[in-house]
Amino acid sequence: MDCQACNQPVKKFGKHRNGLQRYRCPKCKKTFTEPHERPLGAMILAEEKAVSVLQHLVEGCSVNSTSRITKVHARTILDLLTLAGEKCDRLMTERISGLRVRDVQCDELWGYVGMKEKTKARQGKEETTIGDAWTFVAIERYSKLVLAWHLGRRTEADTVAFTEKIAAATTGSFQITTDGFGPYEHAVVLSLGVQKVDFAQLVKLYKANPENETRYSPAECTGCKKVPVYGNPDPKNISTSHVERSNLTMRMQIRRLTRLTNAFSKKWTKLYAMMALYFGWYNFCRVHGTLRVTPAMEAGLTDHVWEIKELLA
C-alpha cells in the first residue's frame, strides 16, 4: 500500500481501536487506516460491539441492561439505535414494495411514551409526542412477512397513513382482515380500493369484568363475529390470529412494550427507531419457528438468513 499523500510505500503501524489496520509513511510520517466502509457513519464503535448491542436489544434487553452486559454507554446505545432504526426503515421501504400477496391481517398494538394517556390528561399536557402510542401492523398470513407498520395514534388519520403503506407494499388482489376498529372501513377503501381487495372484519365480543376483578385483568372474550365489508372474502380465512401472535412476539422481544412493568419509552423517536429495528430484524434475520426460514426468504426477497450487520450495510 502506498501513502495517500506522497505515494511512497508504507508500513503497518498497529491497529485502530475499532480493529482496523493502521499504516504509517516513513517519509512524511502521516498515518491512516486501511480502506473500509463506515456502516456506522461517524460512530467509532467497533462493528462487532455494535452487532452485540443490537442483538441484545432485539432479544428483549433494556438499554441499561444492554449497557451493563456490553460495557457500552447508554447514550451510545441510543445513538446506535437511532442509526440502525433509520437504516431498517429505509430497508423495509425499498425491499417490501409491490409484492403479490394472498391474505393480509392487520392489528394494532398499544404502548406509551413518557406517560399513559390518563396521566397526560390529568397533568394537562398537550404534547403529541407523549402518551399512548399505537403500532399498526400488517402481516402476510402465509409468509409471516410484516408488509407495513405505522406508529401513531388510534385515529382515522393514522389508520389511513397505515393503509397507504400497505398499498405501497402490495400489488394485485388479495384478502385483508382487520379487527373491528371503525376507521378501517373508510381507510381500506380509500387506499386499496374496492376492486383490489376482499375486505372483512373480525369483531370480538367482550363482557365487563366482575366487580372483584382488578383493573389489570383483561376483559373476557365471549366470542367473535365475522363481518364481510365488501368484495368476496373467504369466511374460512377471516382471521387475525397470525398477526395477534406476532404481536405477542413483539411484546416478548421489545423491552419497551413489556406490560405491567416500569419499561417504557421516554421519547417517541426512540420508540420509532426500536420498532423499525425490530421489524427489519424480524423479516430478514429471525428464523420463524414454523417456516424454518426467515419471512423474507419465504416471500422470495432474500436467499439466506441475514446477519444483523447486514441491516447496517
Residue range 27-50, pLDDT digits in tens: 888 888 877 666 777 787 888 999
**Do 3 and 59 lie in a common domain?**
no
62 in a structural domain: yes
Comparing CA positions, the residue from 42, 110, 116 lying closest to residue 257 is: 110
Beta bridge partners of 99: 170
CA-to-CA dists, residue 171 to 165, 188, 193, 208, 300, angstroms = 12, 14, 12, 41, 15
**Do 233 and 152 lie in a common domain?**
yes
CA-to-CA dists, residue 104 to 33, 35, 71, 95, angstroms = 49, 45, 42, 18
Coil, helix or strand at residue 230? strand
In the numeric block, which cell numbers belong to residue 182? 371503525
205 in a structural domain: yes
Q: What is the mean pLDDT of residues 67-84?
A: 96
Higher pLDDT, 195 or 124: 124
Integer Cα distance of 237 and 139 in angstroms = 14
> Is the confidence at residue 213, as pLDDT, over 60?
no
**Do 99 and 3 lie in a common domain?**
no
Q: What is the mean pLDDT of residues 85-98?
A: 96
- Comparing 22-36, 110-124, 229-243, which segment has the lowest mean pLDDT? 22-36
pLDDT, mean over the chain: 92
Determine which helix (DSSP H) or strand (DSSP E) holds 119, and give its type and residue range.
helix 117-122
- pLDDT for 116: 94
Percent of the chain exceeding pLDDT 70 equals 95
Higher pLDDT, 247 or 219: 247
**Do 184 and 210 lie in a common domain?**
yes
| pLDDT, tens only, 301-312 | 999 999 999 999
290 in a structural domain: yes
**Do 56 and 144 lie in a common domain?**
yes
Higher pLDDT, 37 or 274: 274
Higher pLDDT, 247 or 35: 247
> Is the confidence at residue 214, as pLDDT, over 60?
no
**Do 169 and 113 lie in a common domain?**
yes
- pLDDT for 313: 84
Comparing CA positions, the residue from 252, 269, 240, 254 lying closest to residue 176 is: 240
CA-to-CA dists, residue 57 to 4, 49, 148, 260, 305, angstroms = 39, 13, 21, 19, 19
Integer Cα distance of 68 and 41 in angstroms = 24
Coil, helix or strand at residue 223? strand
Q: What is the mean pLDDT of residues 257-271?
A: 93
Determine the residue type at 67: S
Q: How many domains is the chain built from?
A: 2
- pLDDT for 6: 86
**Do 51 and 160 lie in a common domain?**
yes
**Do 25 and 118 lie in a common domain?**
no
> Is the confidence at residue 60, as pLDDT, over 60?
yes
Higher pLDDT, 101 or 259: 101
Are 275 and 135 spatial neighbours (Cβ–Cβ below 8 Å)? yes
> Is the confidence at residue 84, as pLDDT, over 70?
yes
- pLDDT for 145: 98
Q: What is the mean pLDDT of residues 96-125?
A: 96
**Do 238 and 198 lie in a common domain?**
yes
**Do 253 and 274 lie in a common domain?**
yes
41 in a structural domain: no
Structural domain for 11, as ranges: 1-36
Comparing CA positions, the residue from 77, 35, 40 lying closest to residue 311 is: 40
- pLDDT for 222: 80
Read off the CATH number of the domain in which 254 is found.
3.30.420.10
42 in a structural domain: no
3 in a structural domain: yes
**Do 263 and 297 lie in a common domain?**
yes
Confidence of residue 129 (pLDDT cuts 50, 70, 90): very high
Coil, helix or strand at residue 70? helix
Are 184 and 106 spatial neighbours (Cβ–Cβ below 8 Å)? yes
- pLDDT for 196: 83
- pLDDT for 207: 76
**Do 113 and 209 lie in a common domain?**
yes
54 in a structural domain: yes
Of the ranges 86-90, 217-221, 256-260, which is most confident? Answer: 86-90
Confidence of residue 115 (pLDDT cuts 50, 70, 90): very high
28 in a structural domain: yes
Integer Cα distance of 133 and 18 in angstroms = 37
